[in-house]
A and B are shown apart, each in its own frame.
Chain A
Amino acid sequence: AQSVTQLGSHVSVSEGALVLLRCNYSSSVPPYLFWYVQYPNQGLQLLLKYTSAATLVKGINGFEAEFKKSETSFHLTKPSAHMSDAAEYFCAVSSYYGGSQGNLIFGKGTKLSVKP
């Protein structure tokens, strides 16, 4: 079975500050891990993905995430927050093996606010 825990349903940072959104996963098989972003009244957009290649993954809009197997974590970071980063972020896990195991399991989401 797989699961995802996102620590903190709301995170607030100042513009220019570091963004850190936490995600821990549980998986009995090699995981694929994803971060999606959702802007108000829109669907989900893929930020980045880990699929068993490099453990440090770079995504769009300056975001990156590091896969740490020993800590079962996949935290999302961005060195300097911008007002346009305000959105809801979802971490998700699926199985390397595809099929029904390839379905995404989502965390409950973290809303990021950016203060001027």
Chain B
Amino acid sequence: DVKVTQSSRYLVKRTGEKVFLECVQDMDHENMFWYRQDPGLGLRLIYFSYDVKMKEKGDIPEGYSVSREKKERFSLILESASTNQTSMYLCASRDGNQPQHFGDGTRLSIL
């Protein structure tokens, strides 16, 4: 079974901090994704990656960056955290055209 692991379930950070959210998948999937989920807005795509060192912007990339140095790991970086980035963050991976598999999410609070 595919396992997508997000390093933290809950995280509290302060405004202006640099924040790293880590995601690891164990199925050698080429495609990885970062979403944020907010009540009433559903899931919105922040960034995605089709291969190592490759990244593409999703629908809401502003204020975020990503890193994919190894195939199994996809990191989301908040360069300077702000309160409007308080949200649930979900990582997913996919093999080819198969359905995406999701991690359990990181609930991030920026104070």
Using a CB–CB distance below 8 Å, which chain A residues touch chain B? 9, 32, 34, 36, 41-46, 49, 90, 96, 98-100, 102-104, 106-109
The CA of A108 and the CA of B107, in the complex, are separated in Å by 18
Please determine whether B33 and A44 come into contact, CB atoms closer than 8 angstroms.
no
- Contact residue among A41, A102, A103 (Cβ-Cβ distance under 8 Å from B45): A103
| Chain B residue nearest in CB terms to A36 | B102
Please determine whether B4 and A43 come into contact, CB atoms closer than 8 angstroms.
yes
- The interface-forming segment of B14-22, B61-69, B74-82, B92-100 is B92-100
Please determine whether A98 and B40 come into contact, CB atoms closer than 8 angstroms.
no
Q: Which chain A residues border B105 with CB–CB below 8 Å? A: 41-43
Number of contacting residues on B, CB 8 A?
26
Please determine whether B104 and A100 come into contact, CB atoms closer than 8 angstroms.
no
Q: Which chain B residues border A98 with CB–CB below 8 Å? A: 96-97
Q: Which chain B residues border A49 with CB–CB below 8 Å? A: 99
- Contact residue among A42, A96, A108, A109 (Cβ-Cβ distance under 8 Å from B104): A42
- Contact residue among A36, A46, A108 (Cβ-Cβ distance under 8 Å from B40): A108
Q: Which chain B residues border A108 with CB–CB below 8 Å? A: 40-42
Please determine whether B102 and A45 come into contact, CB atoms closer than 8 angstroms.
yes
CB distance from B104 to the nearest CB of A (A): 5
Please determine whether A104 and B100 come into contact, CB atoms closer than 8 angstroms.
yes
Q: Which chain A residues border B48 with CB–CB below 8 Å? A: 100, 103
Query: Told that A44-B90, A44-B92 touch, could you supply 10 new A-B pairs with CB distance under 8 A?
Result: A41-B105, A41-B107, A43-B102, A44-B102, A46-B101, A90-B42, A98-B97, A104-B100, A106-B44, A109-B42
Return 6 A-B CB contacts under 8 Å, by A number: A32-B97, A43-B102, A44-B90, A102-B97, A104-B45, A108-B42
